[in-house]
Amino acid sequence: MSTDAVVLPRTELTSRPIVARLHDWVTTVDHKRLGILYIVYALVFLVIGGIEATIIRIQLIRPHNDFVSPQVFNRLFTMHGTTMIFFVAMPVLFGFANYLIPLLIGARDMAFPRLNAFSFWMTAFGGLLLYFSLIGANGLYGAGNAPDVGWFAYAPLTSQTFSVGHSTDFWTLALLVSGFGSIGTAINIVATILCMRCPGMTLAKMPLFAWLTLVMGGLVILAVSPLTAAQIMLLIDRYLGGHFFDTQAGGSAVIWMHFFWVFGHPEVYILVLPAFAFASEIIPVFSRKPLFGYPVMVGATIAIGFISMSVWAHHMFTVGMGSAANTFFVISSMTIAVPTGIKIFNWLATMWGGKIEFKTPMLFCIAFILQFLIAGLTGIMLAAAPFDWHLGNSYFVVAHFHYVIVGAILFTLFAAFYYWFPKMLGKMYCETLGKLHFWLFVIGFHLTFDFMHIPGLLGMPRRIYTYEPGRGWDTWNLIVTIGVFFQAAGILVFLGNLIWSYVRGKPAGNDPWDAWTLEWSTNSPPPAYNFYSIPTVKSRRPLWDLKHPDDPDWKYE
C-alpha cells in the first residue's frame, strides 16, 4: 500500500525493505493508514484491558478471595476503566471515523492530514505514559505504581495527602496528552465534514454516519476540554500548592465531580454515537432497504448532542446537591430517552418489510438493538433519582454501563469490523468463524452482564476487592466470572479470524455487500487518493442510483 500518487507495480511494493515500509507507516498522513494505526493500537489495549477485567473477575469469583491484594485490585479497576475508555474505545472509534469519513463524503483525505497524524501520536503516547506508571511512578516514598484512584479520580483522594507518589500524575498526564489528541481529531472531523464533501452532497444528503460523527466531534470539542481544565487544576493542586479541590482550605470535592462529569457524561455519547453510525450504515444494507426516517434520525442525533450536555449530574444524585438540582437532572436525563428511543424504532422500521440477511455484521447489529434497548431501560431506572440512591455506585450501574459499552458499542464495532474488513484489506473474512465469534461472545456477554445486575439490587457496591459471604452475592458473582471466559474465547476467535482472513481470505472486490454509499465505488483497499475522480452525487445512496437508474433515490427523498 503505497502513499505515492502513482500506483507502483506489485513486485516493487512487496520487495521494499521492512525499515522503509515501517517508516512509511510512522510518517504517514494518509487518513486510511492512520485509521488502521488507531484500530490496531486499540486492539492491543483491548487485550490488555480484557486481561485486567479477567483478573478482577477471578478475584471476585468467591467471597474473601485472595487472588490479588487490595492494592493490586484497586489499580486493576482503575487501569481497566481508564484503558478501555481512553485507549480502546476512543482510538478505535476515531480510527473508523478517520478511515471512513473521507470515503463516505467523496473526499481524498481529512481536512488537516498532518494534524491527523499528530493527534494519533499524541493519543498513542498517552497510552504508553499511562502504562509507564507501572515502572515509573515510585516517587519519593517508594509508593506509587499504576494509578489506583478509579477512572474518575475523585478529589480529595487524588490530593498529595491521599495519593502519594506519582501514580495519579501518570493518570492525569496520560489523559491530558491524549485529550489534546482527541481534540485535534475532533477539529479535523468537524472541518472535514463541513468543508470537504463532494459536489452535490449537501448536509441533508450525507450518510447518517457523517452526521453522527459530526455531532460526536462537536461533543469532543465541548466535553474533553472541561476534563483538560480539571486536570490542569489537579496538577496545580498537587504541585503548585493550589486549593481547587483542597477541602481543608475551603475547596470543594464536589466541584471536581461536576467538572469531571461535564466531561464524563458527554463522553459516553461520544462513544455511543459512532456505534449508532455503524448500525445506521449496516442495518439498511442487510435489510435491503434505506434507513427509515433519515431526517428524524438527523434531528434525534442533534437533540442527543445538545441534551447530553445537560444531564451530567445524574452521576451525582447521592452527593447531596439538594432536591431542586436532583429534580432537574432527573427530567433532563429522562428527556434524552426520547430521541434515543426514536432511533431504536427507526432501526426496527428499517428492518421491517425488508429481506434480512444474517451475515455476521447483521447478527451483531441485531444483538445491538436488543442490548441497547435493555441498557437504555436500565438507564431510565437510574435516572429516577431515588431509585439511583440504591442503584448508583453499585454493581447495577456497572452492569448498566457495560451493557452500553460492550453490548451496544463493542457489538456494533464488531459489526463494523466485519462489514468494512473487505474494503480495508481487500479480502473477505471467514463467515463461519465470524458466526462462531458472535455466538461465543453473545453467550458470554449475557452470562456476565445480565446477572451482574442482581448483586447490585442485593446491595453490592462497586470497586470492592472482596465481599462478605452471607449477603446473597456469591452465586451471581460466580456466574458473572464464568461469562468472562466465553467472551475471551470469542475475542480470540475474532483476532484469529482477522489474521487468518488477512493472510488467506478470498479477494473481496469493490462491493461485496451490494451496498449504496461511496466507499463501495472504489477499490478494495482504496488507492491512496481514494477516488479516481471526485464524484458528484444527487441522493443519499449514490450507488443505488447507479444500480437502479430507472428508480433512483433522488426522486423520492
Instruction: Give, as ranges, the residues between 219 and 248 that touch other proteins (CB under 8 A).
Output: 221-226, 228-230, 232-233, 236-237, 240-244, 247-248
**Distance, CA of 202 to CA of 173 (rounded, Å):** 40
Distance in Å, CB of 129 to other proteins, minimum: 21
* Burial tier of 457 (Cβ tally within 10 Å: 0-12, 13-18, 19+): middle
Contact map string, positions 505 to 544, toward other proteins, x by CB under 8 A:
-----x-------x--xxx---x---xxxxxxxx---xx-
**Rounded distance between C-alpha atoms, residue 109 and residue 223, angstroms:** 26
- Can you read off the three cell numbers belonging to residue 554? 433522488
Bond before 525 cis per omega within 30 degrees = yes
Q: Is 190 in the site for other proteins (CB under 8 A)?
A: yes
Per CB under 8 A, the list member of 22, 23, 306, 468 interacting with other proteins is 468
In this chain, which of 47, 164, 384, 495 binds other proteins, going by CB under 8 A?
384
CB of 496 to other proteins, least distance (A): 27
Window 302-341: residues binding other proteins (CB under 8 A): 318-320, 322-323, 326-327, 330-331, 334-335, 337-338, 341
**CA–CA dist 174, 134 (Å, integer):** 13
Q: Which of residues 39-98 bind other proteins (CB under 8 A)?
A: 69-71, 74
Q: Across-strand partners of 461?
A: 394
Kindly state the smallest distance separating residue 19's Cβ from other proteins, in Å: 30
Site for other proteins in 11-40 (CB under 8 A): none
* 160 touches other proteins (CB under 8 A): no
Q: Of 437-466, which residues contact other proteins (CB under 8 A)? A: 446-447, 450-451, 453-454, 457-466
> In the window 131-150, what residues touch other proteins (CB under 8 A)?
148, 150
Cβ atoms 411, 491 nearer than 8 A: no
Segment interacting with other proteins, rule: CB under 8 A, options 83-91, 126-134, 287-295, 428-436: 287-295
Stretch of 134-142, 412-420, 469-477, 494-502 lying at the interface with other proteins (CB under 8 A): 469-477
The residue among 14 and 533 lying less far from other proteins, judged by its C-beta, is 533
Within 8 A by CB and 6+ apart from 344, the residues are: 369, 372, 373, 376
* Dist CA 393 CA 316 (whole Å): 10
Footprint of other proteins on 385-424 (CB under 8 A): 385-394
Single out the residue of 194, 204, 492, 499 in contact with other proteins (rule: CB under 8 A): 194
| Cell triple for 200 | 452535490
Q: Residue 345 interacts with other proteins (CB under 8 A)?
A: yes
Residue 318 CB neighbour total at 10 angstroms: 13
Stretch that binds other proteins, among 122-130, 136-144, 374-382, 493-501 (CB under 8 A): 374-382
Q: Per this entry, what is the length of the chain?
A: 557
How many other CB atoms are found less than 10 A from the CB of residue 236? 14
- 3-state secondary structure at position 394: strand
- How far apart are CB 8 and other proteins at their closest, in Å? 14
Three-class SS state of 220: helix
Cβ contact 336:307 at 8 Å: yes
Q: Which is nearer to other proteins, 47 or 309 (CB)?
A: 309
Q: 36, 93, 101, 111: which one contacts other proteins (CB under 8 A)?
A: 111
Of the candidate residues 162, 204, 439, 507, the single one contacting other proteins (CB under 8 A): 162
Give the number of residues in contact with other proteins, rule: CB under 8 A. 158
Q: Which residues, numbered 197-216, are part of the site for other proteins (CB under 8 A)?
A: 197, 199-200
CA atoms of 276 and 266, how far apart (whole Å):
15
Mapped onto helix, strand or coil, the DSSP state of residue 510 is coil
Estimate the crossing angle of helix 208-239 against helix 253-287, to 10 degrees.
Answer: 160
Residue type, 529: Y
